[in-house]
Amino acid sequence: MEPASRQRIVPHLERVRFKLGEVVCDAGGLLKHAYFPQGSVLSLLTVLENGAAIETANIGREGAFGLFAAMYSRVSFNRCIVQLEGHTARCPIELLQDEFRSSEHIRNLFVSYSETLLSQVQQTVACNAMHSTEERMCRWLLMMHDRAGREALPYTHEFLSNILGANRKSVTLAAQAMQTAGLISYHRGTIQVRDRPGLEQASCECYAIVKERFDAFLKPPATAVQDHSHGRIAAK
C-alpha cells in the first residue's frame, strides 16, 4: 500500500489469534473486518445445501480475506475457517471501503489480488474434478508447507478428508503411499514433509500454476509507477 493509506490503516489494525478449524465467518455472514494472515492460513469453503463443504482456496501471508467486502458486498459467499494457527491482523471493513473509493492505487491492488485469488479458485475446481486424491493431497501439502515455514504440519486424516472433499479411506491410502515413497511421515496427527522435490514431482500441475500466478502478483512489473502516486510499487 501507499504510505498515506498505510498511515490511515495501521492504527486501526487489531492482532487476533484463532484456533485450528475455528470459523472466522460463515457463508452468508456479514463481514465487519478484513483479515490479513501473519503466519496463519485461512481456508475458503464452498458449503452445499446438505452441509457438505469443500475448500476452493486458501489464503496465507500473501493475501487477505474480506477484500471483496471492501469493494462490493459485505456478505461472505464462503465459509472461512482457520487452516493453520497463527496470528492474523484484522481491519474494519469501513476503513478499507473508504480507501477503495478514494485511492486508485488501492483499487488496482484489490482488484489485482481478487483476480489472482479467483485463478486459484478456478484451478482448484479443475483439480478437484480431474486429479487423484494423492495428487490433490500433494498440492495441498505443498501450499501449506510454503505458508507454514516449517516441516511439521498439524493435520489429521479426518481434517484432510474434509478439506479435500475426499472420503477418509482414500486420504489414508494416499498418505500411506506418500509415506512409503518417502515424501512424508505421519505420526499422531502431525505430517512431516521429508522430500519437498519429490512432493512437487508427485503433485499435479495445479500447484505450480497457482504459485506462478501469485509470484507474478507479488512481483509487479518494472514498468509500475514508483512515485507513490499510482499503481503498485515495484520490488527493489
- The grid coordinates of residue 37 equal 494472515
Q: How far apart are CA 191 and CA 174, in angstroms?
A: 13
Closest residue by Cα to residue 142 from 94, 195, 216: 195
Domain span at 166: 132-203
Q: What confidence score (pLDDT) does residue 222 get?
A: 53
Which residues of the chain are modeled with pLDDT < 70?
220-236
Residue 43 main-chain phi, psi, to 5 deg:
-115, 130
Q: What confidence score (pLDDT) does residue 148 get?
A: 83
Contact 199, 184 (CB under 8 A): yes
Q: Is 62 within a domain?
A: yes
Contact 198, 182 (CB under 8 A): yes
E strand or H helix at 147, and its extent?
helix 133-148
Q: Is 184 within a domain?
A: yes
Q: Is 66 within a domain?
A: yes
Contact 62, 218 (CB under 8 A): yes
CATH number for the domain that contains residue 192: 1.10.10.10
Asked if residue 16 and residue 101 are part of one domain, the reply reads yes
- The grid coordinates of residue 143 equal 501450499
Q: Hey, is 140 helix, strand or coil?
A: helix
Q: What confidence score (pLDDT) does residue 195 get?
A: 95
Q: How far apart are CA 68 and CA 167, in angstroms?
A: 32
Q: What confidence score (pLDDT) does residue 218 get?
A: 87
- The grid coordinates of residue 26 equal 460463515
The fraction of the chain above a pLDDT of 90, given in percent, is: 62
Contact 199, 142 (CB under 8 A): yes
β-pairing, 152-153 with 41-47? Answer: unpaired
Q: Is 222 within a domain?
A: no
Q: What single DSSP character describes residue 41?
A: E
Q: What confidence score (pLDDT) does residue 10 get?
A: 93
Asked if residue 37 and residue 120 are part of one domain, the reply reads yes
Say how many domains are in the chain. 2
Q: Find all residues with CB under 8 Å of 205, minimum gap 6, and list them.
A: none
Q: What confidence score (pLDDT) does residue 59 get?
A: 95
- The grid coordinates of residue 68 equal 471483496
Asked if residue 172 and residue 74 are part of one domain, the reply reads no
Predicted TM-score (pTM) of the model is 0.85
Q: How far apart are CA 55 and CA 154, in angstroms?
A: 17
- What does the CA dihedral 14, 227, 109, 17 come to, rounded to 10 degrees? -20
Asked if residue 137 and residue 101 are part of one domain, the reply reads no
Asked if residue 165 and residue 61 are part of one domain, the reply reads no
Place of cell 475458503: 44
Q: What confidence score (pLDDT) does residue 233 get?
A: 39
Given 110, 128, 146, the domain boundary residue is: 128
Given 93, 128, 163, the domain boundary residue is: 128
Residue 215 identity? D
Q: How far apart are CA 129 and CA 69, in angstroms?
A: 29
